[in-house]
């Protein structure tokens, strides 16, 4: 009995020591996470500070009545000559490979569904992400800002189902032109720009895009939801916006304000308004 009590006492002591060690490790890890730079979640002050630099109209700063914000010199701001969008997970959801699973391979033909969605032939909905409709309407209808032949809008996609993607581009209606009843589709927005829907690397896509448009990489703005693509293309000198939630209104403004940013950084802003202008490199 005496030996049993000694063994039990020793075991309890070891257990207490183990618990203390685990607690210390947990506290150290949490502190390192909170104090790391950049952190995953920014406090509002940090967001406002960064947004003040970019004078974003939809920022907390704009609604706070801060008179110290810099004037918005939009006319003097350099604009991209080419704007490229990824498709799957950037413009719409689900991705085409997901539709293969959801619909048992039954995707096209697509038909209009409720609330602006498109339905597969198995009645699975495909919907547009973020504020892509308002962004596309601005690019297509705001002739004063984006009109003329000097700005081209195109696509870089490695989708698994190119034919399905092309059909969705044709059938997805974005909105009406002005105050009239005439509608336009995603395909109308991209009709004059470079279309790269192919399984080879996006580096090859952008070499062909640069060639087709006759512009250097530094004049291109690119939106993608895949971190690997963002990192790869930013090294070419392209300004790259990481949009894991699709192209939101805030992200659109952030990307335009950050352009040109050809130093290999990636800009981004998530749906909660947390600023990630330091770049998606925090994930790598």
Q: What is the pLDDT of residues 70-95, one digit of tens each?
A: 444 555 678 999 999 999 999 999 99
For position 241, what pLDDT does the model report? 96
Strand, helix or coil at 93? strand
Tell me the fold of 44-91+129-283.
Answer: Rossmann fold (3.40.50)
Using the structure block, give the residue that is written with the tokens 């009590």: 5
Q: Provide the whole-model pTM.
A: 0.71
Higher per-residue pLDDT: 257 or 13: 257
For position 15, what pLDDT does the model report? 57
Q: What band does 147 get if pLDDT is binned at 50, 70 and 90?
A: confident
For position 49, what pLDDT does the model report? 41
Higher per-residue pLDDT: 171 or 32: 171
Higher per-residue pLDDT: 261 or 29: 261
What is the C-alpha to C-alpha distance for residues 105 and 107, in angstroms, rounded to an integer?
6
Strand, helix or coil at 133? helix
Mean pLDDT of 253-277: 74
Of the chain, the percentage scoring pLDDT greater than 90 comes to 51
pLDDT, tens only, 38-76: 322 222 333 344 443 434 333 322 222 344 444 445 556
Q: Which range (15-29, 92-106, 161-175, 221-235) has the least confidence?
A: 15-29
pLDDT at 136 over 70: yes
Q: What band does 150 get if pLDDT is binned at 50, 70 and 90?
A: confident
Q: Domain residues of the chain, as ranges?
A: 44-91+129-283
pLDDT at 275 over 70: no
Of the chain, the percentage scoring pLDDT greater than 70 comes to 67
For position 263, what pLDDT does the model report? 74
Using the structure block, give the residue that is written with the tokens 């706070």: 64
- Computed over every residue of the chain, the mean pLDDT equals 77
- Reduced 3-state DSSP string for the chain: CHHHHHHHHHHHHHHHHHHHHHHHHHHHHHHHHHHCCCCCCCCHHHHHHHHHHHCCCCCHHHHHCCCCCCCCCHHHCCCCCEEEECCECCCEECCHHHHHHHCCCCCCCCEECHHHCEECCCCCEEEECCCHHHHHHHHHHCHHHHCCCCCEEEEEECCCCHHHHHHHHHHCEEEECCCCCCEEEHHHHHCCCCEEECCCCHHHHHHHHHHHHCCCHHHEEEEECCHHHHHHHHCCCCEEEECCCCCCHHHHHHHHHHCCCCCCCEEEECCCCCECCCCHHHHC
For position 62, what pLDDT does the model report? 28
Mean pLDDT of 254-273: 77
For position 47, what pLDDT does the model report? 37
pLDDT, tens only, 186-216: 999 999 899 999 999 999 999 999 999 999 9
pLDDT, tens only, 12-45: 555 555 555 456 545 454 444 333 333 222 223 3
For position 192, what pLDDT does the model report? 86
For position 178, what pLDDT does the model report? 77
């Amino acid at each position: 009995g005496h030996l049993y009590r000694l063994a039990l006492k020793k075991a309890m002591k070891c257990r207490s020591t183990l618990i203390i060690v685990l607690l210390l490790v947990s506290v150290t890890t949490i502190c390192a996470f909170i104090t790391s730079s950049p952190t995953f979640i920014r406090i509002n002050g940090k967001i406002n500070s960064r947004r003040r630099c970019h004078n974003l109209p939809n920022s907390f700063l704009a609604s706070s009545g801060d008179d110290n914000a810099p004037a918005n010199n939009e006319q003097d701001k350099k604009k991209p000559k080419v704007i490229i969008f990824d498709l799957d997970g950037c413009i719409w959801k689900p991705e085409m490979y997901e539709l293969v699973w959801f619909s048992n391979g039954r995707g096209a033909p697509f038909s209009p569904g409720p609330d602006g969605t498109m339905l597969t032939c198995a009645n699975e909905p495909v919907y547009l992400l973020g504020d892509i409709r308002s962004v596309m309407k601005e690019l297509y209808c705001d002739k004063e800002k984006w009109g003329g032949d000097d700005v081209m809008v195109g696509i870089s996609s490695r989708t698994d189902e190119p034919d399905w993607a092309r059909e969705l581009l044709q059938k997805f209606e974005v909105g009406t032109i002005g105050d009239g009843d005439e509608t336009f589709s995603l395909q109308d927005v991209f009709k004059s720009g470079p279309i790269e829907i192919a399984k080879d690397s996006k580096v090859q896509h952008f070499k062909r895009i640069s060639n087709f448009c006759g512009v250097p990489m530094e004049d291109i703005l690119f939106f993608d939801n895949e971190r690997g693509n963002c990192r790869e293309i930013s090294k070419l000198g392209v300004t790259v916006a990481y949009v894991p939630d699709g192209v939101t209104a805030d992200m659109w403004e952030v990307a335009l304000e950050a352009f040109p940013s050809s130093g290999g950084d990636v800009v981004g802003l998530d749906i909660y308004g947390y600023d990630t202008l330091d770049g998606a490199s925090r994930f790598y």
